[in-house]
Structure 1
Amino acid sequence: MSYPIPVQYPPPQHSGTTALTRVLGVLFLVVLVGGYVAAVFLTRHIWADREATRLTYSTASSSGSPPSADALAKMRDVVENRLHGMGFSGSEVATDGDTLVATIPSRDPDVVRDITMPGQLMIRPVVHAMAAKAESPPTAPSTPAPGTAKPGQAQRISDEKTLRQATDPSMQILALQFQATRCGDDDVLAGHDDPNLPLVTCSEDGETVYLLDKSIMSGAEINEADSGYSEDAGRYVVDVGFTSAGTKTWADFTTANIGTQTAFTLDTRVVSAPEIREAITGGRVEITGDFTADSARALVGVLKSGSLPFSLSLESSQDAVLPATVFAKLLRGLVIAVGICVLGISVAGVVYLARRGPGTGALGVRPPT
């Protein structure tokens, strides 16, 4: 007599293994989709259109006459280089008649100030320094009487030079006392001081007023500039390198003037006035001041670009949008391609997990009961 051979079925999959597989699958999909969304969000400023500010400036020379075409072209180059040095790559700068239009990928109001600063760097020996004060100023020869018409810009600059760049010691004392009471005001003389004459001016922080001798060097003798945080100084500094002629001038001056103060002025304001402790013959010097990372970088941009050939006056400021750069467009295409891949993987994963229900075997077949 023969007996039927019982059919052997594979043992059912352990439900714990199936549950673990499903949990890992769901976790993988969540991490994949979440990581993609986070990456898109964090890099949107690179591949997306950029928020910008369109600044329109009127231009005029110190005499009030319109600038020449060559001067406008130089102005455009200086502004472009200045923006690049400040880290605003992709900015658009153009001239239209006697106006200059700059579209900048930023909506920081400080950028307007950094663009329009004349950028006149001078190195002047310090003759005298005193604390600024907030008292009623003594009567100055250049100050118009109340009720009189305000003089034009050119006349005001001339009046400031007469008072603050005098060579007469008694006039210098008067200028020091007068300037000490208005260090918090805008400086009409900014960028227009004569480097061959003494200068009475304030520090950048408005706390000190200086009498400075005529300039020994200018920004034209600087060919390198960089900024960074100095561990030794415990602050942000600007490191500059001189040309060969500037290196010799600085070496000779520091050798002969150890123990004296020297002021680095930017548009008449003293940004740093260090004491010379030793001869500096290497052609490099650190400018220390009350810098932040942004202000140090802005100063580097000014030093690298050079001074403006004439003044700029802001006429209007409007929000704008700069289109994505070529690199940004390529990155945008990559983001879209990766998104399609993530979507495909996610759909396939969901379908797979749906078919592989609880209790199914390794081949997705539910064993018979």
Structure 2
Amino acid sequence: MAPSTGTVHPVRYLALFGVLVVALYALVFFTGDKSGTPKLGIDLQGGTRVTLTARTPDGSAPSQDSLRQAQEIIETRVNGLGVSGSEVVIDGDNLVITVPGDDSAQARSLGQTARLYIRPVTGAIDVATRDANTNATPESPTSGSPPADAPPADAPPADAPTADAPAPQNRPFPAQAPTTPDAPPSTDATPAAPTTTPPDATPDDATAGDAAAAEITAARALRQSDDPAVQQQAMAGLDCSVADPLRGNDDPSLPLVACSQDGQIIYLLGPSIIDGQEISDASSVFNSQQSRHEISLSFKTTGSNTWAQFTSANIGKQAAFTLDSKVVSAPTIQGATPAGSATSITGSFTAESAKELANTLKYGSLPLSFAASEAETVSATLGLASLQAALIAGAVGLVLVLVYCLVYYRMLGVLTALSLILSGIMVYAIMVLLGRYIGFSLDLAGMAGLIIGIGMTADSFVVFFERIKDEMREGRSFRSAVPRGWARARRTILSGNAVSFIAAAVLYALAVGQVRGFAFTLGLTTILDVIVVFLVTWPLVSMASRSAFWSKPSVNGLGAVQEVARERKVAAAASAKETRA
């Protein structure tokens, strides 16, 4: 990257920098949301807060260790999505997630339990067809469906899909609300429920935890029974439009009646064959042949071997990927998957939802299930005044640096100003793109890193200019001193920036919260410092050294250095003359 001290073409370096700037701003204004403004953090623009209330199967209070583990996993998910400035704090028995902006879906997705199991599909019914058959009357002889009080024997067998169930997978279903039946199915049409206590029939004096535990117990008894009659009752009466009490609380060793993610299909599933803990990696990919987004899964050794054996023994059958008790995909097994090979989760995914799901699966399931509260908007913790103060501080620092350079280096300070301005233009575009594509939010800590970067960039200029002065003190002209001074200065510049970048990287790896944002921007400005010095400052000074105007001591401010060189030359000549005498 460093130019040689021989023949130099500074215009090429300036042109390369110009191409980079044009490319960045083309991405800013012609891709994405085209907003052209960086994303601000919670402390500057406010955000959206969602409180996650922990739920345990027995209704007991969650342990602090479980809450801390859940907090760490959610923070890891945040980091997996990028430096977004989100906050995850423990508040009693709850986790409070705050994300910048007004996107409550992002906060809710971070708290997704993500308990993934792979289960065999033993039956499936279409919700719309089921509801239509349930609502049919005996006076409708052409409907082909039994009356509402038909005996249970007419129900489809539990070990196979119903005759009118569609081939539910390998095609996306429209994301619409499931059809709600006009009347619930008759209690005479199905066997009696295994429990007579409905989920909401808790005593008035029961605690909220007891009520949640009773709801989970009742849902398990109905939807995770080994009795085929009870399974048919659950499939006939399950409402996919209401909140699922089994979310993240299903027993993987038992069968499960579950809804598809879009609520259009109800599945009867066998016990789990692979736990999501066996996932070693997950990533979102785009299948160009099918024109859809998918999740690519890689299993650990045990899970990979189990999946290879299952697929080879169940070709032509379906396997369901259940996430938090919902079926996200149930593809038909077309062939055996060799051990060690990746497999895919397909479904109606967008690029964003596929990325979020892959990130959630990659970084693990939470040790607890959570019920999310309604999202609420929170105001900026520091507000516009602090943002203005930070901008003023940055502007003052920049002005002081420029004034110092103009006073001390004369017109060379103009080159410093131009370099800093071009660096600022590049930094702004990068901030916008980072906020758009990885969710980076610029907060006060991040702005502090940018301001410090201004000083580091100025340090590089000072090192370069002082090396030039050293060369000129030895009697060289401005033109010959520039390439020699650059050859010596660039090693110092690279060494200093390498130390700063290592410090920023270590701080980013070990810190949490806003400190990571500071470390991130500090490391970013360190890299940009090298780019600006090599592609802008060095070429500009090189071009100036070849100009008769810029070579004048009254213009470049190097007259005093040249005078020192002349005095040394005269003194050396006098000393040599005395020696000869």
- With normalisation by structure 1, the TM-score equals 0.72
| Partner residue in 1 for 2:262 | 205
| Residue among 167, 177, 183 paired with 2:240 | 183
Contact 1:62 1:310 in 2 (8 A): no
* Larger helix fraction of residues: 2
Q: Is the 8 A contact 2:202 2:214 kept in 1?
A: no
RMSD: 3.2
Instruction: State the match for 1:272 in structure 2.
Output: 329
Alpha-carbon offset, residue 328 of structure 1 = 4.3
Alpha-carbon distance in structure 1 between the residues aligned to 2:258 and 2:57:
20
CA distance in 2, matches of 1:325, 1:216: 48
Shift of residue 275 of structure 1?
A: 0.7
Call closer, same or farther: CA 1:131–1:103 in 2, change over 3 Å: same
Secondary structure of 2:254's partner? coil
**Which residue in the other structure is 1:303 paired with?**
361
Amino acid at match of 1:100: L
Q: Which moved more, 1:58-67 or 1:214-223?
A: 58-67
Higher relative contact order (CA 8 A, sep 6+): 1
Question: For 2:314, which of 244, 257, 277 is the aligned residue?
Answer: 257
Q: 1:195-218 deviations in whole A, cap 9, x for unaligned?
A: 011111111111111111100001
**Aligned counterparts of 2:63 and 2:199: Cα–Cα separation in 1:** 37
Shift of 1:297: 1.6
Mark the CA change 1:226 to 1:243 in structure 2 (over 3 Å): closer, same or farther: same
Residue pairs, 1:1-369, within 5 angstroms: 42-45=36-39, 49=44, 51-87=46-82, 89-132=84-127, 133=131, 134-135=180-181, 136-139=184-187, 141=193, 142=195, 144=197, 149=202, 152-179=211-238, 182-281=239-338, 282-314=340-372, 317-321=376-380, 324=443, 326-331=445-450
Corresponding letter in the other structure for 1:42: G
Unaligned runs of 5+ in 1: 1-34, 339-369
Query: Contact 1:56–1:100 (CA<8 Å) still a contact in 2?
Result: yes
Structure 2 residue aligned with 1:31:
none
Render the CA deviation track for 1:119-177: whole Å, top value 9, x for unaligned.
11010000011101343234362575799557811111111111111111122122211
Alignment deviations for residues 88-138 of structure 1 (CA, whole Å, 9 cap, x no partner): 633222224333232322421212431333211010000011101343234
Higher deviation after alignment, 97-106 or 212-221:
97-106
Percentage of matched positions with identical amino acids = 39
In 1: Cα distance, 2:196 partner to 2:287 partner: 43
Deviation at 1:320, TM superposition (A): 4.1
Note the residue ranges of structure 2 that are not aligned, 5 or more in a row.
Answer: 1-24, 30-34, 132-179, 204-209, 382-441, 459-581
Separation in 2, partners of 1:328, 1:285: 42
* Distance in 1 separating the partners of 2:444 and 2:358: 25
SS of match in other structure, 2:95: strand
Matched position secondary structure for 1:53: strand
Q: Conserved in 1, the CA contact under 8 Å of 2:259 and 2:267? A: yes
Distance 1:226 1:55, change over 3 A: same
Kept after mapping to 2: 8 A contact 1:203/1:210: yes
- Equivalents in 1 of 2:303, 2:200: separation in Å? 48
The structure with more strand, counted as a fraction of residues: 1
Conserved? CA contact 1:138–1:178, under 8 Å: no
Residues 222/156 of structure 1: CA separation in 2 closer, same or farther (3 Å cut): same
